[in-house]
Structure 1
């Protein structure tokens, strides 16, 4: 017996054989059609899942950026609240005339009538005052 010798093969020309060959060809076409349809469904599903995945990933990145901005804003809000509290306290102190007079005497070397001021070497305001008065003369 020889293998693969096509010269020895003969096709039957009967109606039954032709019917069986036609049935077999139809089954093969149906199998190919089903495979192509299944492939098309998988491709469409893959594209849908891929687009949903990309949009979810982008939303996740945007959410992380917004969380960072939120944290920065909260820290800035705390800093501003602390500044506002300090400034409110300063405004309250500046409404007190005794405090304003004390600050004016210590920073700007103002004095009451009959009061003498002795600037010390470590006092920067006193040195600045004497320098500005010497420049104007």
Structure 2
């Protein structure tokens, strides 16, 4: 047992052996390390391309969904106006049929223009709306 203190293994200086085998192993390690670096770079570039493609696809889908929702809203409004126009057309067609009837025209003339036949007297009665207005005016 010696009293000498041994240096820790980190501080020991070991000379490397420089022969063909050691050099070939070092070359293999360098090639392997260079291959890892190139692989990492390729995967990084590929990952960035995939990320950019995903973002582009996502924004395209979002924009198209917004366009679709706007067009669906326009379609609903157009269908509502079409339905309203069809109802109006049906109402006008019915009115045309009624206006072709002479009895209806005579009735309409009596009602709107107070026309009468010989010997007829026309009395106008107030409508329900006018009666309720008069009652409301009287209460105030």
1:42 to partner: Cα distance = 1.7
- Choose the corresponding residue for 2:66, options 50, 61, 68: 61
The equivalences for 1:1-137 within 5 A come to: 2-5=8-11, 8-120=13-125, 122=126
Q: Which runs of 5+ in 1 are unaligned?
A: 125-137
Aligned-residue Cα RMSD (Å) equals 2.2
In the TM superposition, structure 1's runs of 4+ consecutive aligned residues that sit over 3 Å from their partners are none
1:60 to partner: Cα distance = 2.0
1:81 to partner: Cα distance = 0.8
Calculate the TM-score normalised by the size of structure 2: 0.74
CA distance in 1, matches of 2:122, 2:76: 51
* SS across alignment from 2:86: helix
Calculate the TM-score normalised by the size of structure 1: 0.75
More helix by share: 1
1:123 to partner: Cα distance = 5.2
Q: Closer, same or farther in 2 for the Cα pair 1:110/1:13, shift >3 Å?
A: same
Q: Which runs of 5+ in 2 are unaligned?
A: 1-6, 129-140
CA distance in 1, matches of 2:9, 2:105: 117
